[in-house]
Amino acid sequence: MNIPLNRGPNSAAPPDSFIKHWMPAFVLMVCVVLAFFDKISIAVLFADPHFQSAMGIVESKAKLGWLMTSFLLAYGFSCMFLSFLGDLINPKKLIFWSVASWGVLMLIMGFTTSYSGMLVMRVLLGIAEGPLFALCYSIVKQRYSDREQARASTMFLLGTPIGATLGFPITAHVLASHDWHTTFFVMAALTVVVLLLVYFGLKDVQLAKVDGSQKISKAQHRLNLSVLFGNRAFWMVCIFNIAMMGYLWGLNSWIPIYLMEAKGFNLKEFGNLSMIPFIAMLVGEIFGAYYSDKIGKLRSPQVFIGLFLAGVGMYALVLAHGITQVILAMSFSSMLWGFAASAIFALLARVSTKEVASTAGGIFNGLGNFASALAPVIIGYIVQASKNFNDGVTFLAILAVVGSLTLIPLLKKH
């Protein structure tokens, strides 16, 4: 008799070993790490004159911004309109083929030598990566109990700071040692490794919602959606997430070139020090996950405080002078963002139901990324117009502080 790896919190079956129990969340985390590599690697190339010359966009901050914004617009569109597939089709299969497509696209980007071609590839990459977080959320929602939600979701969310912690210095090192083409080839090679992990790591995991008799009908799914769409708290969390993601994409799009142009870092210093703020983000997420699961009942105060103070820390970065102050300000801001992010999916789980987990996660993540996609290009236009990078970073600080206020009505209930 085969015993499925996933069991509901009320199952009488004996518990899995620690490794088996948390392996699905670990595999999802690795997928997010790879996806984040693919997202942010191009930001390091923003400061490379050879890449700028090949793309024909020397000194055009706005066009550089569009390389990130085009990806995010496609990513958000895909999140909102394709993530529902995870409620109707096995999300494990969707994750496998999605990851495979990333590798193909990264390989093609390594051979692309025109701005228009790179823009098209970034759009396709955004479409391919869009459903990932919703699929991860769907698996976590079904696989883990309510008391494990924050830790399980944080495990895949850790892919964000880990991806930045490793992605920026690795890309900078490859760029310094080889050329911009090779950075894409390295990402494509890493995809093969992750595909093997996805295949073997999720092979025996069975998800209840795709097991024949338990699969919901399309009519029931439409009814569940009508309840979701009328949920005021769900939409407030979605709006809050726009500010969360705007901060993240603004940070990851422009921080490499900001530190080098406005704060005086060179490529070597950036490569060596860039991981510190994202390690702080990682620490914030880990601490926040355990804190959130320990508190259990209320998630909104944690994410509200985290994003508010992240905005304060971002403005401190503008005022900072010298490498030490800059890294400390970035680290404080990143850590508080991680503290907020660790509980955001657990908060989403409180204001939505498992029957529409993929759809809720897709709308939440898609709307957040689609609306926040404008942040990189807005910053590019601000910097291009004012000739002052600090103005663009100040915009991020304001976005975080104002966006955090959205959750005030939920602080006593969720």
Q: Are 310 and 337 contacting, i.e. CB atoms less than 8 angstroms apart?
A: yes
Residues in the chain: 414
Mean pLDDT calculated for residue range 75-84: 76
What mean pLDDT is reported for the chain? Answer: 81
pLDDT band at 78 (very low <50, low <70, confident <90, very high): confident
| Backbone φ/ψ region at 264: left (φ over 0), alpha (ψ -120 to 50), beta | left
pLDDT at 64: 82
pLDDT at 101: 92
Q: Is residue 343 part of a domain?
A: yes
Between 328 and 371, where is the model more confident? 328
Question: Is 4 within a domain?
Answer: no
Residues 6+ away with beta carbon under 8 Å from 272: 169
Q: What is the 3-state secondary structure (H, E, C) of 321-354?
A: CHHHHHHHHHHHHHHHHHHHHHHHHHHHHHCCCH
Q: Total domain count for the chain?
A: 1
Q: What is the model's pLDDT at position 299?
A: 82
Its domain, for residue 155, covers 18-410
pLDDT over threshold 70, residue 36? yes
Decide if 131 is inside a domain: yes
Do the domain assignments include residue 5?
no
In this prediction, residue 312 carries a pLDDT of: 95
Rounded to whole angstroms, the Cα distance separating 278 from 259 reads: 15
Which CATH number do you get for residue 83?
Answer: 1.20.1250.20
Q: What pLDDT, on the 0 to 100 scale, is given for residue 50?
A: 86
Please write the tens of the pLDDT for every residue from 269-278.
777 787 888 8
Asked, for residue 141, whether it belongs to a domain, the answer is yes
For the residues 404-412, what does the mean pLDDT come to? 88
Kind and range of the H or E element at 97?
helix 91-111
Query: Is 11 a member of any domain?
Result: no
Give residue-wise pLDDT tens across range 167-225: 888 888 888 888 889 999 999 999 999 999 888 878 776 665 444 444 555 666 566 66
